[in-house]
């Protein structure tokens, strides 16, 4: 806890005073342009990767950057998506997976799930990643099989995102654009899924 307390002290002393007017505006409302759906993994820090700050991203996180499609069930992720699209009127919705994803490792190997019944059930939401697995990239070396599955999961969850009623309506009206991204922790690079080419390409050409 000491690390967090010291960090908050620095925020109050060094960051907040310089941005007081911005926080005064944000205290009463938000108008983010981007919905960012990503994994709970501690190594994925959207504001650090993208240079964004308070009020820029509306973020939803869960193990494996999953977007459930389960009939009438209610879950935090799809509720967040609905709110972002219908109330906040975001212009872009991004599903972002990442390298070395623990959820996808578990889906691939099915090890260590005996005492994790909720996590095991949650992984049913990533089964479609196997049918959307991307061609292995030799550059990924020994992790090529896992990385191809992680990219496949981004594609699968992007399809699930499009299937959300609020998203489908907003896309049809031209009010919303959806994106699938893959973040490589080692290189810091982000790839985007090109739906016309049906492959991942560098976000920065």
What ranges do the domains of the chain cover?
1-29, 31-202
pLDDT digits 0-9 by tens, 39-78? 999 999 999 999 999 999 999 999 999 999 866 667 899 9
Q: What is the pLDDT of residue 127?
A: 94
Q: What is the pLDDT of residue 113?
A: 87
Q: What is the pLDDT of residue 111?
A: 79
Q: What is the pLDDT of residue 73?
A: 67
pLDDT digits 0-9 by tens, 65-112? 999 986 666 789 999 999 999 999 999 999 999 999 999 999 998 877
Q: Which residue has the higher pLDDT, 10 or 205?
A: 10
Q: What is the pLDDT of residue 197?
A: 95
Q: Domain 31-202 belongs to what topology?
A: Beta-carbonic Anhydrase; Chain A (3.40.1050)
For residue 171, what is the DSSP state?
A: H
- Residues that are catalytic: 39, 41, 43, 98, 101
Average pLDDT for the chain: 95
- The pTM for the full model equals 0.94
Q: What is the pLDDT of residue 138?
A: 85
pLDDT digits 0-9 by tens, 178-188? 999 999 999 99
Mean pLDDT of all residues in 159-174: 97
80 vs 82: CA distance, rounded Å: 5
- Which has the closest alpha carbon to 124: 62, 182, 69? 69
pLDDT at residue 128 greater than cutoff 70: yes
Bridge-based pairing state of the strands 57-62 and 177-183: unpaired
Q: What is the pLDDT of residue 102?
A: 96
Provide the pLDDT confidence category of residue 173 given band limits of 50, 70 and 90: very high
Q: What is the pLDDT of residue 114?
A: 87
33 vs 91: CA distance, rounded Å: 5
Q: Where are the alpha helices (DSSP H) in the chain?
A: 2-10, 20-26, 46-50, 76-86, 102-109, 117-122, 128-131, 144-163, 165-173
Q: 28-42, 128-142, 153-167 — which is least confidently predicted? A: 128-142
Q: What is the pLDDT of residue 72?
A: 64
148 vs 110: CA distance, rounded Å: 17
């Amino acid at each position: 806890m000491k690390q967090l307390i010291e960090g908050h002290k620095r925020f109050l002393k060094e960051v907040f005073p310089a941005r007081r007017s911005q926080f005064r505006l944000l205290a009463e409302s938000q108008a983010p342009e981007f919905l960012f759906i990503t994994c709970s993994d501690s190594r994925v820090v959207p504001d650090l990767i993208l240079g964004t700050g308070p009020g820029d991203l509306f973020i939803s996180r869960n193990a494996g950057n999953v977007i459930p499609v389960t009939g009438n069930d209610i879950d935090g992720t799809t509720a967040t998506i609905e709110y972002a699209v219908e109330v906040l009127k975001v212009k872009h919705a991004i599903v972002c997976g990442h390298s070395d994803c623990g959820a996808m490792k578990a889906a691939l190997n099915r090890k260590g799930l005996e005492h994790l019944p909720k996590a095991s059930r949650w992984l049913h939401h990533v089964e479609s990643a196997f049918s959307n697995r991307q061609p292995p990239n030799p550059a990924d070396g020994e992790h090529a099989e896992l990385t191809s599955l992680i990219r496949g999961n981004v594609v699968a969850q992007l399809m699930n995102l499009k299937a959300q009623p609020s998203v489908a309506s907003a896309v049809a009206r031209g009010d919303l654009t959806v994106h699938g991204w893959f973040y490589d922790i080692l290189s810091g690079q982000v790839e985007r899924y090109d739906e016309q080419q049906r492959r991942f390409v560098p976000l920065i050409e």
